[in-house]
Amino acid sequence: MMDPRPGGAPTVLRMVLGKRLQDLREQAGISFEQAGRALDVTHATIRRMEKAEVGLKLPYVEKLLHTYGVT
């Protein structure tokens, strides 16, 4: 059984979103460190978000999309 909590085991949707955020970050030419500064988190947190190892909060996703130039 999968853990339904936001920080629990990765779900398919969280994995897809993480991969998409990684693709967008790379297309924008932004490093883990730069993305982390935009959210005031460490580069390791960005890496964990992209690998679906931590839950994604809507304000973080919105801020990353803005940072990556997605309208």
Please count the CA atoms within 13 angstroms of the CA of 28 that sit on its side-chain side. Answer: 19
Tokens of 49: 């978000």
* Per-residue tokens: 1: 């059984």
Alpha-carbon torsion (59, 65, 68, 70), positive or negative: negative
Q: Where are the domains of the chain?
A: 24-67
pLDDT band per the 50, 70, 90 thresholds, residue 10 = confident
- pLDDT tens-digit profile of 11-67? 899 999 999 999 999 999 999 999 999 999 999 999 999 999 998 899 999 999 999
User: Is this prediction's pTM over 0.85?
Assistant: no
